[in-house]
Structure 1
Amino acid sequence: MDATFLAWNFMGNRDAERMVFHYLTSTAQAAAAKADILLCNTFTELEPTIFTQKTPATIFPIGPLRTGQRSAGQVEVVGHFWQTNDNACHSFLDEQPYGSVVYVAFGSLTVMSPEQLKEIALGLEASGRPFIWVVRSGLASNLPTSFLDPIMGLRKGRVVEWAPQERVLAHPAVGCFVTHCGWNSTVESIRNGVPMLCWPYFTDQFTNQIYICDIWRIGLKMLQTSGGGIVTKEIVTKKIMVQRLEELLLDEGIKERVQRLKEFAETNMNEEGESIRNFNAFVELLTMPMS
């Protein structure tokens, strides 16, 4: 891994980089050293070397955690910050062919400039593929009307402020996930067997990209950028929507590997799965009387 992409880089300013460096190398390590148990949203087959090493605390993998499934009558409020469920996503997906839709979401914290948003919009339009693009609240106004009007009118795509991500990823019409590589999004994509096209933004997302593309080999890197430069329409169109996207959707090896990880995820979360056993063991420890 290139040291340029360590978690404390790409924060946008030196003060933020120093703060993250201090947190990871001091605060977080000190907390882990004092802990008896670390609960992690992962599973053994995803990171096997982690669970063969000696660590100060016992690491309990209890993933993949499910945030998008609720029993009837419950309001789905976990896993987002902006608004309640938007069923428009599902109705749009129901109209699309199997494995054809590009799902684009960069998480709750990623902030892109208006210029970059416009370039992505133009690239999506030029791709000709159906898509769902999650654009944070208040930022959709930065998109050109020349993009929104024909896209929405022809039902070629959906631009939403929030999407029920796990439900979207579980839909058979979704063929790939253009993602910022946040850990929760990464695990959700794996749990639903969806290949990823990686566009990391900061902190651990570059590390996660290395796992996705180089270790698990279930996705592709869109490109490498530095210095906060704008990714132009031509690069977005060529790299994401044409060359890289086609490569991703046609790569049977990637599909097979992500489906295999999906099977491991499901096994870990069934009644006899390791993640469920670990969670139950943790609950039992909480209920034990203090000595």
Structure 2
Amino acid sequence: MSVPTVLVLPSPAQGHVNPMMIFSQRLLENGCNIIFINTEFAHNKVLSSMGNQQGSVTGGSSQIKLMSIPDGLGPDADRNNLGELFISILNNMPAMLEKLIEDLRLNDGVTVSCIVADFLMAWALEVANKIGIKGVLFYPASAAMLALQCSIPKLIEDGIIDSNGLPITEKRFQLSPSIPPMDTGLIWWAKISDTITEKKIFNVIVHCMQTLELTDWWLCNSTPELEPGALSYVPKLLPIGALLRDVTEDQSLGQFWEEDHSCIRWLDQQPHASVIYVAFGSTTLFDKKQFTELALGLELTNRPFLWVVRQDSDSDSDSNCKNKVSLPNEFKGNQGKINGWAPQEKVLRHPAIACFISHCGWNSTVEGLSNGVPFLCWPYFTDQFFNRTYICDELKVGLRFDSDENGLISRVEIKVKVKKLLGDENIRLKANEVKKKLRKEIDDGGRSSENLNKFIKWLKD
């Protein structure tokens, strides 16, 4: 068997980089050479959080080589404008990727044998096809969301969305009897920000969907146990999840912020199943009123809490909605710990954790489920609203927060739902059952584990 050199290309977002870095680590452990390509903007964040300017991540005796390509936007551009970002990527990065692959061959004697591209970077499959190397799709969200995208022509035909991808009327629909029902409010690309951005992203999605026919390998961070209906709806999709970090490693693989491990020492001092873990991923933003209600609601629970509050500066462009909001004067914080960024999987595995107040991003969903932690669901945008449906209605391992007449999740609502969740033994039991099933899938001989082995064998042939 030959040693393949795999070029891995994630979308420039923390929730996309994370699973693809873990996936890259698995390939590295199985004897592949890995070149991990971020946009320049994301690449600089990753290097900064690692304190490593050498551009490599050690794995055994080998390394993942970290490289970058400019996204085509200027240094001061608003990369939170996803429509502009992905159109710029589509217009600029394909030619630069092709040049990078050629330079690797001519200058370093490195021949790339395969490109694994995130769905939103699926234009890279066209590059792979053009230069005659293998191309593979990696889908980082739930299989149900890809099933939704595969149904775009039918959704238009049935009058659920228009040709720009936007819902025509509020309507409930079901892709198949084995996939939870959706309503138009769960169409993820129509939950981004404004209509113009949503139309742009929809056009990117349509383009990406057209490129999928260029490969027979569609991988996803899910399991047959978790999404049997969606996986049968998209039979080409191969589940290799749950992709979980090796928690014995302290190295932060692909993090945009430096992880603060002091929270683990703090958790060691807390009683078993006592701590509320609160984390909203890499993109959620709160205004001052909601931030205040959350802070005071956590105090009202009278429980210890670990709360991740990002101190990122690239949300400064919106002065009304940024994470540099200050804690209210009446917030004492004596019973809790606030972290800038946490080693989430280590936290979720810790016996002191009682529940997870989460934005329900797919990575957080998979990590929480894999560790048997009950959820309190607080989605922010895109696919997170559908993930809440899975957690609360299908798996029944969590509860949802309800907004008041002002659209706020109040401090009293937080107190009430925490008490209700932690008083429900059935939810705790179900969460443990799901954990056992998901862990079985990734153990040696499990279906996800066997799927990954099958893929690696194909890579090496």
TM-score calculated relative to the size of structure 2: 0.55
Residues 76, 114 of structure 1: CA spacing in aligned structure 2 closer, same or farther, 3 A cutoff? farther
Percent identity of equivalent pairs? 39
For structure 2, list consecutive stretches of 5 or more residues without a partner in the other structure.
1-181, 313-321
**CA shift at 1:147, angstroms?**
5.1
**CA shift at 1:34, angstroms?**
3.2
Residue equivalent to 2:256: 81
Which gives a bigger RCO, structure 1 or 2 (Cα 8 Å, sep 6+)? 1
Residue equivalent to 2:287: 113
For 1:22, give the aligned amino acid: N
**Aligned residue-pair number:** 271
1:31 matched to 2:205? The reply is no
SS in 1 for 2:354: strand
Residue equivalent to 2:111: none
1:65 matched to 2:238? The reply is no
Residue equivalent to 1:15: 196
Residues 283, 167 of structure 1: CA spacing in aligned structure 2 closer, same or farther, 3 A cutoff? same
1:5 matched to 2:186? The reply is yes
**CA shift at 1:230, angstroms?**
5.4
Residue equivalent to 2:225: 45
| Cα deviation 1:72-91 (Å, max 9, x = unaligned) | xxx421263111x3222112
**CA shift at 1:141, angstroms?**
4.8
CA distance in 2, matches of 1:129, 1:102: 7
CA distance in 1, matches of 2:430, 2:209: 33
**CA shift at 1:29, angstroms?**
2.3
Quick one: which of 161, 167, 172 aligns to 2:351? 172
SS in 2 for 1:277: helix
CA distance in 1, matches of 2:257, 2:459: 33
Quick one: which of 431, 435, 438 aligns to 1:265? 438
Residue equivalent to 1:285: 458
CA distance in 2, matches of 1:34, 1:126: 54
Task: Please list, as runs of the form range in 1=range in 2, the aligned pairs for 1:222-233 lying within 5 A after superposition.
Answer: 222-223=401-402, 231=408
Residue equivalent to 1:215: 394
CA contact (8 A) 1:82 1:137 kept: no
**CA shift at 1:140, angstroms?**
6.5
For 2:367, give the aligned amino acid: E
CA contact (8 A) 1:115 1:230 kept: no
For 2:303, give the aligned amino acid: R
SS in 2 for 1:8: helix
CA contact (8 A) 1:68 1:167 kept: no
Residue equivalent to 1:161: 340
For structure 1, list consecutive stretches of 5 or more residues without a partner in the other structure.
none
CA distance in 1, matches of 2:328, 2:401: 26
For 2:253, give the aligned amino acid: V
CA distance in 2, matches of 1:147, 1:22: 47
4+ residue segments displaced more than 3 Å: 31-34, 138-141
Residue equivalent to 1:249: 422
Residue equivalent to 2:412: 238
Q: CA RMSD in A?
A: 2.2
Task: Please list, as runs of the form range in 1=range in 2, the aligned pairs for 1:88-99 lying within 5 A after superposition.
Answer: 88-99=262-273
SS in 1 for 2:192: coil
Task: Please list, as runs of the form range in 1=range in 2, the aligned pairs for 1:181-220 lying within 5 A after superposition.
Answer: 181-220=360-399
CA contact (8 A) 1:68 1:78 kept: no
Task: Please list, as runs of the form range in 1=range in 2, the aligned pairs for 1:133-152 lying within 5 A after superposition.
Answer: 133-138=307-312, 141-144=324-327, 146=329, 150-151=332-333
SS in 2 for 1:110: coil
CA contact (8 A) 2:404 2:410 kept: no
For 1:128, give the aligned amino acid: N
CA contact (8 A) 1:43 1:61 kept: yes
For 2:192, give the aligned amino acid: M
CA distance in 1, matches of 2:234, 2:354: 39
